[in-house]
Amino acid sequence: MRFFIDLSYKGAAYHGWQNQPNATTVQEVLEHAISTLLGEAIKIVGAGRTDTGVHALQMIAHFNYDENIDAEQLVYKLNAFLPPDISIRSVKQVNVEAHARFDALSRAYKYYVHQKKDPFKIDSSYYFKPDLDIDKMNHASNLLLGHKNFKCFSRTHTDVKTYNCDVKTAIWERNGDHLVFTIEADRFLRNMVRAIVGTMLEIGQGKMTEKEFRSVLDSQDRSKAGPSAPAHGLFLTRIDYPESKLMP
């Protein structure tokens, strides 16, 4: 049988989601917890990977287990076993062929920026003091919606078959001295959102024009785009699936 786990985590203490040698990751900690509680080695497959320091309001992962599970009781035990910065929201049985990564229709991220120093946002928002023109940033964001190849925002030397992504939403919103960038797409490349945000901040300061931004998009060259924004302002917020894939 296959089960989906819906979880949240604060990424500050982890080297991202995906297992890697000599580094603590969310996947590693979760696999250890669920393997201990179920009494056998359990491998977990996530909907994607988040980089070191990136947070998730929602991550979906799946695992296989041959016995019936009391989902409510497993959620309770996992939350008691796991550290405070990882929280399980639900465990539910799904179609045995459902895949947390390949069946996802879309993923959504939010990036948070604050422009007045705030000690309570140190780990969850990027303090960026320079004035920003949000209208210019949104004009540039609109260009992402019709674009396909995002190699210019991808980490170099990455092992992907295509750099194409279908961006469905990209918008900046301001609330006083706080800014939020929301972006949704069918898939994302490694470092893509942070590279987009860093480039948008260049545009907001007047250091890059919309015409230059078009050239960056067409260049397929990471060195042409702006610097990556820090990881701690980025949150994976939602992953959507077709209902037909989830029915057991």
Pick the catalytic residue from 51, 70, 85, 166.
51
Is residue 166 flagged as an active site residue? no
Look at residues 126, 112, 116, 229 and name the one whose alpha carbon lies nearest to residue 174.
112
| Six-digit token string for 209 | 């024009």
Beta strand ranges found along 10-163 (DSSP E): 45-46, 55-64, 86-94, 106-114, 126-127
Q: What Å distances lie between residue 224 and 111, 163, 211, CA to CA?
A: 21, 16, 13
Query: Which residue shows structure tokens 């003091």?
Result: 129
Residue type, 138: N
Pairwise CA distance, residues 60 & 56, whole Å: 10
Say how many C-beta atoms besides its own lie within 10 A of residue 19's C-beta.
Answer: 17
Catalytic residue list: 51
